[in-house]
Structure 1
């Protein structure tokens, strides 16, 4: 391996160390802001180091065909030291700012949805409810007036039709008893109820 290849590999490893520090600080800040349970942290650490090892090996393979030398670890160490001394606090502040901006954006979106969708739907629901209540009250009031107006005429009609209705009722009652209409109607109703229970209450 040439000297230029070695310096290139060391520079790539230095950048990899910077990237590892950036990702580590970023995911740490995110887990703290999201208030994840403490037992998640070891799991996430293992996932982070496995992913970092795979990515570093892939970068190393692309730069020097995967040869592991001392300068590889030196480059990684120098990159991580440079990151934690010069860039760690900046990255942490930037990640916190991004999280705060995302939270504010979500709050704005939710507020817009509440103003543009939720509140109009609730207002429409209340309006429909008031209209239905008013319509029901008006209908009941109108029916009461109609019943009060029709009641004298109905009583007059029943009084006038009494001589005809009473003999007709006696005549129909004899045939109803003869044909057992009441029992047949009751049995028909019971069959309908059983069919309804069988078909629609499974």
Structure 2
């Protein structure tokens, strides 16, 4: 390894250490979201460190073809220390500010979607259901009213026939009327059941 390559490797690893500080801080802040889930915390922790190792080794491979030396680890540690001393406090404040903006944006977006899309759709559906129920209610009352109108003359005719016709004929007519009345009653009961189910 030439001197230029060594210097470039040290510089790259110092920058890599600074990057690792930023990445670790970001990951630690994000980890607060799933810290209650122990398994998830372990899985994400392992994935994070594997990813960071791969990134740093990729940088190292492009600089000196992946040749590992002790000073490389020292350079990386130095970079991380530089991040801790110079950038950590500022980056934490910046990260919290960014998270706050993100939370506000997401909250505002959800509220906007609720006001402009969800609430109008819910209101429209409620209105349609109310109108349909009202139509069904009106139709039911109209049907019962029509039944009364249709069978009122028949009822009158039966009463007149009871007076005019012989008793035997009246009995036959009465039994037929009772039969028809039973059918009508069952039909009315069925209609009520159907309409009530739809409501």
The CA distance in 2 between the partners of 1:4 and 1:64, in whole Å, is 10
Deviation at 1:23, TM superposition (A): 0.6
Residue 28 of structure 2 is aligned to residue 28 of structure 1:
yes
Where does residue 185 of structure 1 map in the other structure?
Answer: none
Deviation at residue 157 of structure 1 after TM alignment? 5.8
Equivalence for 2:96: 96
CA RMSD of aligned residues (A): 3.0
Corresponding residue of 1:189: none
The aligned length equals: 168
Shift of 1:52: 2.2
Change (3 A) 1:99 1:73: same
Query: Does the 8 A contact of 1:60 with 1:67 survive in 2?
Result: yes
Q: Is the 8 A contact 2:60 2:66 kept in 1?
A: yes
**Aligned residues of 1:17 and 1:80 also touching (Cα < 8 A):** yes
Q: Tell me which stretches of 4 or more aligned residues in structure 1 moved more than 4 Å.
A: 156-160
Secondary structure of the equivalent of 1:36? coil
Flag the 1:45–1:146 CA change in 2: closer, same or farther, 3 A.
closer
Q: Tell me, which stretches of 5 or more residues in structure 2 are unaligned? A: 174-199
1:152 alignment partner in structure 2: 152
TM alignment of 1:132-143, pairs within 5 A: 132-143=132-143
Give 3-state SS (helix, strand or coil) of 1:131's partner.
helix
* Residue of structure 2 in register with 1:37 after alignment: 36
Gaps of 5+ in 1: 168-202
- 2: CA distance, partners of 1:38 / 1:84: 28
Please tell me whether the aligned partners of residues 34 and 41 of structure 2 are also in contact (alpha carbons under 8 angstroms): no
Residue 130 (str. 1) matches residue 161 (str. 2): no
Q: 1:152 offset after TM fit, Å?
A: 2.7
Give yes or no for contact 1:26–1:91 (8 Å, CA) kept in 2: no
Query: What is the TM-score with the length of structure 2 in the denominator?
Result: 0.70
Question: Secondary structure of the residue that 2:62 maps to in structure 1?
Answer: helix
TM-score, normalization by structure 1: 0.69
Superposed, 1:13-24 pairs within 5 Å as: 13-24=13-24
Q: Which residue of 2 aligns with 1:73?
A: 73
**What is aligned with 1:109?**
109
